[in-house]
Amino acid sequence: MPITQDDVSAALAGESEEVPGNYSDRDSLLYAVAIGMGKDPLDSKELEYVCETLGNRVVPSAASVLTRASRSGANPVRDLTSKMNYVMLLHGEQRLTVHQPLPPAANTLISNRVTGVYDKGEGKGALVTSETLVKLDDGSPLYTVGSTMFYRGDGGFGGSADGAPVPHPIPDREPDVVCELSQRDDQAMVYALCGDRNPLHRDPGIAKQAGFDMPILHGLCSYGIACHAVLKTMCDYDQTRMKSFDVRFSAPVFPGETHLVEMWQDGDVVSFRTRIKERDIIAINNGRCQLDAS
């Protein structure tokens, strides 16, 4: 059954229960390997992210997989989206605000809220924006992750399209720097172990049913690869400098493709996008990374 304006109103007014969560250093170490770090076993800066005897750094974008609740609770995001057409779902945007550097392992408190539902019209779909706030168990904010999900089959419920997120503009000049990161053919197999077991990314039969010649890479893995590039190029691998990391997904990526992350720096803002070298397409666009002011 399609969603109604009453469903939307209830979701926007709903309060999420704060529930306990946790992650271990195994999770944060695996994530760094899954996005391509540690391929050079003598790279001392990357080893601080993948070998606990050499460092305890965590890639900020790992927040996208470390938000794991120990139990379910009242959740207006889940209540609304469970009524929507999952088959027609596309991940449109991902946002991250880092309140303090992520520890390698932590016990957490997690809450979710719907921040907007935008009706693009009958046959045009609907956008749902949401945020998840993660705190340490002492109550101090750790990070906030946000997303825009495009439900292509759920437009026309009588809502407004006004106020939807506006993409960050990419500067109209040549990139200041480009970081080239080659990837592994089996990368989706590794990234799936971070928690996203969607067979679209590993099962060729499922991928063909979805219209792809082969399984596609997880969008959030491409997100992590872009974060790796900015961390390497603009922060000299100092993750404490990264305060936010936002992207818009624009095209599918296949495992093993080469990511060219194009970057522009204007003060403490890095604009970026990811171009796939083999096909010359933009896979991630309108990227914005806020650095500290140092």
Q: Give CA–CA dist 98/61, Å, rounded.
A: 9
C-alpha distances in angstroms, 116 versus 93, 140, 144, 169, 260? 13, 25, 16, 21, 32
Give the sign of the dihedral formed by CA 244, CA 250, CA 252, CA 258: negative
Catalytic residue chosen out of the listed positions 27, 201, 218, 246: 201
Centroid of chain to Cα 55: 24
Catalytic residue chosen out of the listed positions 25, 43, 196, 238: 196
Q: Give CA–CA dist 16/131, Å, rounded.
A: 11
Q: Is 73 left (phi over 0), alpha (psi -120 to 50) or beta?
A: beta
- Residue 201 catalytic? yes
| Antiparallel, parallel or unpaired: β 106-119 and 19-23 | antiparallel
Instruction: Give me the residue label for tokens 């924006």.
Output: 129
Tokens at 214, concatenated: 């082969």
- Residue 196 catalytic? yes
Tokens at 236, concatenated: 């000299």
**Strand ordering across the sheet containing 177-181:** 19-23, 106-119, 126-136, 141-151, 89-98, 242-249, 281-291, 269-276, 259-266, 177-181
Q: Is 195 exposed, middle or buried (0-12, 13-18, 19+ CB in 10 A)?
A: middle
Tokens at 286, concatenated: 């309108």
Q: Give CA–CA dist 237/59, Å, rounded.
A: 9
What residues act catalytically? 196, 201
